Amino acid sequence: MEHSKQTQFGSSDKKDAGTSSVVNGHCDGMVKRPAGGPSQPPAAESGSQRPVMESWREDRTRSVEDNEISLPSLAAAYTTILRGLGDDPQRQGLLKTPWRAATAMQFFTKGYQEKLIDVLNDAIFDEDHDEMVIVKDIDMFSMCEHHLVPIFGRVHIGYLPNKRVLGLSKLARIVEIYSRRLQVQERLTKQIAVAITEALQPTGVGVVIEATHMCMVMRGVQKMNSKTITSTMLGVFREDPKTRDEFLTLIRS
């Protein structure tokens, strides 16, 4: 498995981060950005280029109040969709569907309402521990930003502490924050790894995601058993093959 290039933190010579390995995904093979070319969307790229903690202040782009304000227009949009599909929004079975669908979509994308600092600020502990920490098989649900259909699977996270550890449940919360947005799996994998790095400054981080994309299962090539596997390796997980192999072996056990 190939791995993304290491993102450098706290250095004046910051290198552009590469993409993660992909198997049976939307893009076959590696996608590389040419030097000086267009950058990725801010959520994926700018977070890895800013000083530690700075990106935490800019993650929330939607509030509970925004949900209340936008709900009627979202429901109206779903009414238009139902009519455009050839059905009657006024028939009994669809009378409340636009509101239900709008509310559900707000829940599916609730990661836009959350910030890392809200989740992690009270869960980082000083601890004299420098052995690998792994949480695997974290359930993940997201929405494909290309087709607005589900992506679901499992996330495996490992890191080598540098005198600080994170409450274990918070790793799952990081997954929830970034997965509950319109996503592509490649970006999601990197965002999780960068968030952990910004929060803890560990010696290294490894993230692997295995997921099923309903846009491949329900439409297009309709390959029922296809899975997409992406990985991001930072720090010693990228530099040291033995550390990386230990992580990959443990998440497969």
Asked whether residue 213 falls in the same domain as residue 127, the answer is yes
Model confidence, pTM? 0.76
Question: Active-site residue 215, yes or no?
Answer: yes
Q: Which of 183, 185, 186, 191 is catalytic?
A: 185
Residue after which a domain boundary falls, among 112, 137, 153: 112
The parent domain of residue 77 ranges over 61-112
Q: Which tens digits make up the pLDDT trace of 26-58?
A: 333 333 333 443 333 344 333 334 444 444 455
Question: Active-site residue 26, yes or no?
Answer: no
Asked whether residue 69 falls in the same domain as residue 175, the answer is no
pLDDT of residue 41: 39
Q: Is residue 18 part of a domain?
A: no
Q: Which tens digits make up the pLDDT trace of 57-87?
A: 556 788 889 999 999 999 999 999 999 999 9
Lowest mean pLDDT among 89-93, 115-119, 143-147: 115-119
Q: Which two tokens stand for residue 226?
A: 């296809």
Percent helix, strand, coil in the chain, to 5, is 40, 20, 40
| Whether residue 5 has pLDDT greater than 80 | no
Closest to 186 in 3D by CA, of 148, 221, 136, 144: 144
User: Could you tell me if residue 220 is left (phi over 0), alpha (psi between -120 and 50 degrees) or otherwise beta?
Assistant: left
**How far apart are alpha carbons 68 and 103 in whole angstroms?**
10
Question: Active-site residue 65, yes or no?
Answer: no
Q: Is residue 241 part of a domain?
A: yes
Question: Active-site residue 146, yes or no?
Answer: yes
Question: Active-site residue 144, yes or no?
Answer: yes
Closest to 190 in 3D by CA, of 22, 45, 38: 45
Q: Which of 8, 147, 201, 246 is catalytic?
A: 147
Torsion of CA 186, 190, 191, 192, to 10 degrees: 110
Are the C-beta atoms of 190 and 232 separated by less than 8 Å? yes
Asked whether residue 65 falls in the same domain as residue 161, the answer is no
SS3 202: coil
